[in-house]
């Protein structure tokens, strides 16, 4: 038994903590050279959605800027001439996003609001011998539906467009859905009666509507009819999937005569099923969708047809009910129905699948030992070649022999790079945030390996504080990642960014424990049923390895912090490994694994991780339940939990805060009623970071109160 700590004595001598509602949320961006901080973070311009023009000469992409006064991001579309003649990127759309090139490369389509409804627009760029980016015509609205466009994709010949709308599936028209929504809004009765799950998902209460896939044809004037043709007829599911699906879940056949999409049939089992399937449907909607992957009861998705139209590539998992299984690249012969796995020897889980124009190379990104690069896969023999170096490839576009990459790392946010299709001749072509990064100094980082649980090689990294000086020691922020099937990689983040702590004078240590991605599927699988076992052992051994290797880490002034699974682990170590920590920060963590099963929405996750339902296997849910170790809690803790988090509901955070207060342990509770599992709004992000940093500094100060032992 570990000794009990008299947390009440600690509370009596602790300095009063800053109340959550007293956190300074004013904004004053630091001028001149300075350590990187959250105000730098929220004001960074975010580059995304790279799209090469059909001739490969131009790059279209999105840039999100922050309107801090309005507490929101503002999206714009830019175009850069890659020929070397065009100079700097040119803004062609002030407010809009999701830009795609027309088939002839003379126009861009994008999504922007019209009278409060997200519609499809086109901007014609004109010019002779090249586009005229500075004198283009005004954007033209081309869709006129009464509902928001969720996602879209243009046909290869540019004559049609796939459109996703959220509708009532028993409505024959989009207008019917709009009228029913309007009637609901006017109804003075506010109750909603449910007869099946999902009742709510991620951060949204179910409203009876489904994302459905439609197709529309452009008329002679480039306009779309208000009423498109429904393609996902009879599909009781969402296309694309909720809550994070996108246009990668549907595609045109090369000849434009068929459409492929994926969907999970909902029925009454949606919250505990991962059985997505890939469907084929005629582009005119003349027949019902046909299931192409009914034989696999696990996840099949992200269809990509070969250029000759003979093969359909897609990603498939093999374990039903498991969202973190390895995605294999599958090839379906559309004539015979025969299927084969393209990459059986590649022990990584790819995403972002695409194919070269000659059909001889597939492209995909994947986590890989702390990096997230782009890979080329030979569909004939499964040979895999890594194309990009260290860092993270967020997105990419391929035309001919040219690649356009959105790429970032731990020291800089995303910019665009061009390279040849084999990854050679990599060259940076945009330099957003360059001036800000000259002033906002960030810390250097280094990966390290050590022997973890079962004597396996485990990886972590350290980030030095911005003011690092050899011979000095620094307090430590020990970050525990979420997922749990995820990883802390060499990439930039706008939520858990190690540089925000390095800028406050902290060294950062993180460990990619058993369960992390990018180290082989067996390593990822190892956490299921063992949440508090091997991962905890890895964290302990990783912490020791870091202290042994890096003399600048002050192990006597360290705090542990994490979110989601990282929050679960923070609650877990509060009871079973609290000795090293001066304070803890828990964001949206699981406090009671038993209640979590009945409170959350996606039950497949809970059932896979715990070997079945709670009522059939209660012992599995109790094995690593943090609630059962509250009697051993002693470390001061800041609990953060948001009101719109339906993945890990707010009662989990409230329960933990109640435990802390009842035990007399110094603690604070910060909540955001308008945030989900993540904190996304600019003002809230600043408040979150200010509260967390204040908590870390309070308890790692040289004269911080000491815990007393019974």
Active site annotation includes 587: no
| pLDDT in the model for residue 26 | 55
Tens digits of per-residue pLDDT, 571-597? 999 999 999 999 999 999 999 999 999
For residue 5, the cross-strand partners are 709
Look at the alpha carbons of 104, 107, 113, 115 in this order and tell me if their dihedral is positive or negative: negative
Query: In a 3-state reduction of DSSP, which class is residue 313?
Result: strand
Domains along the chain? 7-40+437-700 (3.40.50.1820)
DSSP per-residue letters across 594-612: HHHHHH-S-HHHHHHHTTS
Catalytic residue among 201, 481, 641, 677: 677
Determine how many CB atoms are found less than 10 A away from the CB of residue 216.
21
| pLDDT in the model for residue 702 | 83
Decide if 419 contacts 426 (C-beta within 8 A). yes
Active site annotation includes 617: no
Instruction: For 581-618, give one letter per residue: b (16+ CB within 10 A) or e.
Output: bbbbbbbbbbbbbebbbebbbbbbbbbbbbeeebeeee
369 vs 489: CA distance, rounded Å: 8
Catalytic residue among 107, 516, 564, 685: 564
Percent of the chain with pLDDT over 90: 91
Half-sphere exposure of 478 (CA within 13 A, CB side): 27
475 vs 485: CA distance, rounded Å: 28
| pLDDT in the model for residue 707 | 54
- DSSP class of residue 218 equals B
Active site annotation includes 689: no
| pLDDT in the model for residue 671 | 98
Q: Of 370, 379, 374, which is closest to residue 394 (Cα–Cα)?
A: 374
Show the tokens assigned to 362: 């597939």
| pLDDT in the model for residue 499 | 98
Find the length of the chain. Answer: 710
Decide if 47 contacts 61 (C-beta within 8 A). yes
Show the tokens assigned to 70: 């309005």
Residues of the chain with pLDDT under 70: 1-29, 86, 706-710
| pLDDT in the model for residue 153 | 98
| pLDDT in the model for residue 13 | 29
Tens digits of per-residue pLDDT, 469-501? 999 999 999 999 999 999 999 999 999 999 999
- Determine if the peptide bond prior to 243 is cis (ω within 30°): yes
| pLDDT in the model for residue 550 | 98
Torsion (CA) 602, 200, 567, 665 in degrees, nearest 10: -140
| pLDDT in the model for residue 129 | 74
45 vs 430: CA distance, rounded Å: 12
């Amino acid at each position: 038994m570990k000794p009990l700590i008299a947390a009440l004595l600690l509370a009596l001598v602790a300095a009063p903590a800053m109340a959550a509602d007293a956190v300074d949320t004013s904004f004053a961006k630091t001028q001149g050279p300075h350590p990187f901080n959250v105000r730098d973070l929220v004001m960074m311009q975010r580059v995304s959605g790279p799209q090469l023009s059909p001739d490969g000469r131009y790059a279209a992409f999105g840039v999100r800027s922050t309107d801090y006064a309005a507490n929101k991001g503002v999206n714009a579309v830019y175009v850069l001439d890659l020929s070397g003649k065009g100079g700097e990127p040119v803004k062609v759309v002030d407010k809009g996003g999701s830009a795609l090139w027309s088939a002839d490369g003379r126009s861009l389509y994008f999504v922007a609001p019209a009278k409060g409804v997200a519609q499809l627009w086109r901007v014609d760029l004109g010019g002779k011998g090249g586009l005229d980016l500075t004198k283009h015509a005004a954007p033209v609205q081309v869709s006129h539906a009464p509902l928001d466009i969720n996602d879209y994709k243009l046909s290869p010949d540019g004559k049609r467009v796939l459109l996703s709308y959220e509708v009532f599936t028993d409505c024959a028209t989009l207008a019917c859905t709009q009228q029913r929504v309007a009637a609901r809004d006017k109804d003075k009765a506010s109750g909603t009666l449910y007869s099946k799950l999902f009742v709510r998902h991620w951060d949204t209460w179910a409203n009876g509507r489904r994302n459905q896939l439609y197709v529309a044809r452009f008329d002679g004037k480039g306009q779309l009819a208000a009423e498109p043709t429904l393609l996902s007829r009879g599909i009781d599911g969402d296309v694309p999937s909720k809550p994070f699906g996108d246009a990668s879940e549907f595609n045109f056949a090369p000849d434009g005569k068929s459409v492929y999409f994926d969907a999970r049939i909902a029925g009454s089992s949606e919250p505990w099923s991962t059985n997505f399937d890939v469907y084929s449907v005629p582009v005119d909607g003349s027949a019902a969708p046909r299931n192409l992957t009914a034989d696999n009861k696990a996840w099949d998705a992200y269809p990509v047809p070969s250029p000759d139209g003979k093969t359909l590539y897609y990603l498939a998992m093999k374990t039903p009910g498991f969202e973190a299984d390895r995605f294999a690249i599958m090839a379906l012969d559309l004539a015979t129905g025969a299927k084969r796995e393209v990459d059986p020897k590649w022990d990584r889980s790819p995403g972002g699948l695409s194919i070269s124009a000659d059909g001889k190379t597939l492209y995909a990104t994947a986590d890989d030992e702390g990096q997230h690069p782009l890979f080329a896969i030979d569909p004939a023999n499964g040979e895999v070649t890594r194309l990009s170096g260290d860092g993270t490839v967020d997105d990419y576009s391929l035309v001919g022999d040219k690649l356009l990459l959105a790429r970032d790392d731990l020291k800089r946010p995303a910019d665009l790079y061009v390279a040849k299709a084999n990854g050679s001749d990599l060259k940076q072509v945009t330099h957003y945030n360059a001036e800000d990064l000259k002033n906002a100094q960030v810390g250097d980082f280094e990966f390290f390996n050590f022997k973890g649980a079962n004597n396996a090689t485990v990886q972590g990294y350290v980030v030095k504080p911005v003011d690092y000086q050899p011979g000095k020691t620094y307090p430590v922020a020990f970050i525990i990642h979420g997922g749990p099937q995820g990883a802390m990689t060499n990439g930039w983040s706008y939520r858990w960014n190690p540089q925000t702590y390095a800028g406050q004078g902290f060294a950062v240590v993180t460990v990619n424990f058993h369960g992390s991605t990018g180290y082989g599927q067996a390593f990822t699988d190892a956490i299921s049923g063992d949440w508090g076992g091997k991962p905890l052992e890895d964290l302990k051994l990783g912490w020791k390895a870091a202290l042994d290797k890096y003399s600048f880490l002050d192990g006597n002034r360290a705090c542990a912090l994490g979110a989601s699974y990282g929050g679960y682990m923070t609650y877990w170590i509060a009871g079973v490994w609290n000795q090293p920590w001066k304070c803890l920060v828990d964001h949206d963590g699981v406090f009671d694994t038993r209640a979590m099963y009945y409170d959350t929405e996606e039950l497949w996750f809970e059932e896979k991780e715990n070997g079945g339902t709670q009522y059939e296997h209660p012992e599995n849910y109790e094995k690593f339940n943090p609630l059962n170790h509250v009697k051993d809690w002693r470390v001061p803790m800041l609990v953060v939990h948001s009101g719109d988090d339906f993945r890990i509901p707010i009662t989990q955070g409230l329960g933990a805060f109640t435990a802390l207060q009842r035990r007399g342990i110094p603690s604070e509770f910060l909540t955001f009623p308008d945030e989900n599992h993540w904190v996304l709004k600019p003002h809230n992000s600043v408040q979150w970071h200010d509260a967390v940093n204040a908590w870390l500094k309070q308890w790692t100060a040289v004269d911080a109160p000491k815990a007393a032992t019974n």
